Amino acid sequence: MNEAMVVVLYLRLSVEDYDARIGEQDESNSITAQRNILRDFVAGREEFQGCEIIELCDDGYSGTNLHRPQIQKLLEMAKAKTVDCIIVKDFSRFGRDYLTVSDYVDQIFPFLGVRFISINDGYDSADYNGMTSGVDMAFRNVVYAYYSKDISEKVRSGKRIRAEKGKYLSPFAPIGYRKDEKDKNHLVIDEASAGIVRRIFRLAGMGMSVIQITQLLNAEKVPTPSTLKNEQGLRHKWWDGIGGEKQWFEDVIVRIIRDERYLGKNIYGRRYRPEVGNHKTKKSGKDNWIIVEDCHEPLVTPEEFQAAKDMLKEYVEKDTPALQPHLFSGKLRCGVCHYALERKKTPTPRYSCTTRYRTSGFDCMKGHIKETDLAEVVFQAILLYCQTLLDKQKRVKKAARIESVPNLQKQVEEYQSAVMGYEERKALLYDSKLDGAISKEQYIAKRDELSAQQEDLEQKIEEMNAKIKLLKQQQNGDTPQIEVFETYLSSDCLTREMVEVFVDCIYVHSDRSIHIDWLFDEKGFQNEQK
């Protein structure tokens, strides 16, 4: 038994594990089935008794790449040497890209001292003693990779056939519609929101500009598409603004006015995934769209649609190339409304909050803040942050040298012996009850007292084992973040790389003060990214 060992059970389920025709889950690969297999395996092995068991699960992620939240957390644990063994149901749960999987199993995990077990494949890296897993695993993963690409193509082909028949295949209905309860591939009018859409077309047709429509809807607190989806109980992470108050944006109005689905058409294929397993999509040319007319009841007439669309001449529809990330891409938000700040690409780039143009009631920052000024403040904050964390790490390591791991381990052994003593005392107590030496009430009272004392000891054992593990890491210098802090302390100016390494989000308040959410906790360990 090794109480200090940390074992991670990794589970994964993706759309690849669903039947493409009827959407039914393959029960053999379900999360519940995987969990049962992994836990039964661990429970049946004496070497894992008393180990710390951690479960990480990626539900709804493809196995063709490692862009998964929990697999990234697992790999960070491996690099930080906070996991000793990884167990999966089979290799495909870890990944379907045979080159990547083989690289991790044959090279990276052995180098990091992490044991890897694939139950259904009968693979245990401990059996290889430094040798590679060989042709068998590589061939198996070639099959997984081929299977993943093959089924993806079949799913895509099947969807196009259904789209050509007029089936609605998007996961969510556009505002103004809802999915038919009798046929999820058919849209019906949602009277609760249809009036909002009709009003937008009517206002645009009367000559009102997009910004004027946006301001009017926000002033009247008209429910936004995301508000309506949340009210319908749809499972999705919709941005909820500050205090749950959502806003209308100009681009939302423009998308509604240009959406031909309001003419009764179904449109499929406007975006596509460039590769299997990639969750990022790209726009596809209109030639590749599948447009089928008269699929559902229209919300507006062709004349109303065209009249509204004619008002969008200032909003030129064009394919914009992918922008290179600037210094603060995806990191800057208003500290009041929490919406992203807009960057003006002037000779001296600057940022401003545009919420005040759309709605009132928020005391957001007025005017703008220069990128150069913001960069200097953030740069100095990062330097101070690095120095503070380095000082803390030095104090912790000094304290770790003072405490003796052997003494703590000896104390754990003493506590474990005491726990066994409590078990023996409870057994003798039970015999006394059977012999009639004590009453049932006396037995229950004494048993509960002993159990409580035993639980206290077991809690102490758990805490001390965690402390031993932490002390070992600190004494061995297993805190790779220290090197990160030291590297950037010698920087001359702020770079995009520094922002990505340290900053989760920067909030700029109305008085131009800033608040930074860091990617490291107060002890210098990396937080799980949102």
pLDDT digits (tens, 9 = 90+) for 303-333: 999 999 988 876 655 555 555 678 999 899 9
- Per-residue pLDDT reduced to its tens digit, 442-486: 888 898 899 889 889 888 888 888 777 767 666 555 454 667 778
Classify domain 6-156 at the CATH superfamily level: Resolvase, N-terminal catalytic domain (3.40.50.1390)
**What pLDDT shows up at residue 441?**
87
Q: Is 53 in a helix, a strand, or coil?
A: strand
Q: Which residues contact 122 (CB under 8 A, 6 or more apart)?
A: none
**pLDDT at residue 19, as a whole number:** 40
So what's the pLDDT on residue 3?
Answer: 58
Q: Which pLDDT does position 72 carry in this prediction?
A: 92
Say what percent of the chain tops pLDDT 70.
78
Between 117 and 97, residue with greater pLDDT = 117
DSSP H helical segments within 180-264, as ranges? Answer: 191-205, 210-219, 225-231, 250-258
pLDDT > 90 in the chain, percent: 31
258 or 426, which is more confident: 258
In terms of CATH, what superfamily is 165-312? Putative Large Serine Recombinase; Chain B, Domain 2 (3.90.1750.20)
**Which range has the worst mean pLDDT, 74-83, 118-127, 342-351?**
118-127
> Among the residues of 44-175, which ranges form H helices?
69-79, 91-94, 98-103, 109-112, 135-164
3-state secondary structure of 189: strand
- 350-352: strand order across its sheet: 342-344, 350-352, 369-370
Confidence grade of residue 294 (pLDDT, cut at 50, 70, 90) = very high
State yes or no: pLDDT of 151 exceeds 50: yes
pLDDT in tens, 432-441: 888 888 988 8
* CB 315 within 8 Å of CB 249: no
| Among 29-43, 265-279, 376-390, 410-424, the least confident range | 265-279
pLDDT of residue 323: 57
pLDDT score of 263: 96
Rounded distance between C-alpha atoms, residue 55 and residue 45, angstroms: 17
**Domain boundaries along the sequence of the chain:** 6-156, 165-312
**Residue 372: is its pLDDT beyond 50?**
yes
More confident residue, 515 or 18: 515
Express each pLDDT in 173-182 by its tens digit.
999 999 999 9
Q: What is the mean pLDDT of the chain?
A: 81
Query: How much is the pLDDT for 186?
Result: 93
CB 266 within 8 A of CB 168: yes
Confidence of residue 126 (pLDDT cuts 50, 70, 90): confident
- Geometric angle at alpha carbon 8, from 6 and 9, rounded to 5°: 145
- pLDDT at position 141: 53
What's the pLDDT at 20? 35
Please give the pLDDT value at position 381: 93
Position with higher pLDDT, 323 vs 405: 405
The DSSP secondary structure of 342-363, one letter per residue, reads EEE-SSS-EEE--HHHH-SS--
Q: Which two three-digit tokens encode residue 155?
A: 């799913």
Q: Are 115 and 86 in contact (CB under 8 A)?
A: yes
| pTM to 2 decimal places | 0.50
Q: For the stretch 503-529, what's the b/e string if a residue is b when 16 or more beta carbons lie within 10 angstroms of its beta carbon?
A: bebbbbeeeeebebebbbeeebebeee
pLDDT value, residue 22: 36
Residues in the chain: 530
Predicted pLDDT of residue 517? 92
Contact 160, 269 (CB under 8 A): yes
Per-residue pLDDT at 496 exceeds 60: yes
pLDDT, tens digit (0-9, with 9 covering 90-100), for 238-263: 454 554 567 888 889 999 999 999 99
H-only helix segments in 240-370: 250-258, 302-309, 355-358
Q: pLDDT category, 144, cuts 50, 70, 90?
A: low
Question: Would you state the pLDDT for residue 26?
Answer: 44
Separation of CA 296 from chain center: 36
